[in-house]
Copies of this chain bind each other. A is one copy, B any other.
Amino acid sequence: MIRSQGKSFKWQGEYSGDLNCARTLNTELGVLSSFKPVIAEKQRDIKYLFLANVDPDIQNHLLSHMRRPRLIGLDSMNFWIKHKRPALLRLLKKVDIFVANDQEARDLSGETNLIKAAKKLSRLGPRMVLIKKGEHGVLFCSKDFTVSLPAYPTDKVIDPTGAGDTFAGAFMGYLAKAGRLDVAAIKKALAYGTVAASFNIEDFGAGKTSCFTLADLDKRLNKLREMVKF
């Protein structure tokens, strides 16, 4: 059993056996319970915005200060799905991509089949839904296409905490660089997300993510590309 804690508030959970699935033991909001972020003037023009997991009211406050973001990603977690569902549902209508893990997608949609879950979530607002499945890879659904990619295979799993954020960061980062949202760009962004996350899990905290290079990422990206080519 591994206990871990992450995010700027205090989340405590455990992974027992299956490292794909964290069980929440306790969530303390701490300073974030009354946090009102102040957005600097020049940050209001950010084009690629990722609303990382905090209270949906804080995410909404932040979003309301942005001028014209080109792409808005949204993450959340079980705590908000349970305790702030109406606020989360309102926010979903304002974002382009909803990012969730498989359990969150099932909890929020009420569907067990993940493709059905993704489709149902996209009817709640976001035109794209990205479901992270840990060692089982990623599922992406939009109105126009569905993509499923396997995870980069590794048996060195030390701590999966933060893997989802790492995935989202690399995914959004690649899209910002590409400047396009077509299927080819989305697939490459998903692939960058999965290989970035594969580094994250190989050490505690940001032990690995703080020091890998773009060349490291590209090496794994090429291996992943080769692996799925048939």
Interface bits A144-159 vs B (CB < 8 Å: 1, else 0): 0011111101110100
A119 on interface, CB distance cutoff 8 Å? yes
User: In the complex, are the beta carbons of A227 and B19 less than 8 A apart?
Assistant: no
Q: Which of A30-38, A63-71, A185-193, A206-214 faces chain B?
A: A185-193
User: In the complex, are the beta carbons of B229 and A229 less than 8 A apart?
Assistant: yes
Within 94-133 of A, Cβ neighbours of B (below 8 Å) are at 112-116, 119, 133
Nearest CB in chain B to that of A16: its residue: B112
Q: Which residues of B contact A184 (CB under 8 A)?
A: 230
User: In the complex, are the beta carbons of A187 and B230 less than 8 A apart?
Assistant: yes
Task: Give Cα distance in the complex from A154 to B118, angstroms.
Answer: 12
CB distance from A103 to the nearest CB of B (A): 11
For chain A, the bracket of interface size reads: 20 to 34
Partner of A149, one of B116, B150, B188: B150
A139 on interface, CB distance cutoff 8 Å? yes
User: In the complex, are the beta carbons of B135 and A227 less than 8 A apart?
Assistant: no
Q: Which residues of B contact A153 (CB under 8 A)?
A: 115, 139, 146, 148
Q: Which residues of B contact A190 (CB under 8 A)?
A: 230
Q: Which residues of B contact A116 (CB under 8 A)?
A: 155
Within 136-195 of A, Cβ neighbours of B (below 8 Å) are at 136-137, 139, 146-151, 153-155, 157, 184, 187-188, 190-191
CB distance from A142 to the nearest CB of B (A): 13
User: In the complex, are the beta carbons of A113 and B137 less than 8 A apart?
Assistant: no
A225 on interface, CB distance cutoff 8 Å? yes
CB distance from A76 to the nearest CB of B (A): 22
Task: Give Cα distance in the complex from A191 to B230, angstroms.
Answer: 8
Q: Which residues of B contact A18 (CB under 8 A)?
A: 112
CB distance from A177 to the nearest CB of B (A): 15
Nearest CB in chain B to that of A138: its residue: B150
A228 on interface, CB distance cutoff 8 Å? yes
Using a CB–CB cutoff of 8 Å, the interface residues on chain A facing chain B are 17-19, 112-116, 119, 133, 135-137, 139, 146-151, 153-155, 157, 184, 187-188, 190-191, 225, 227-230
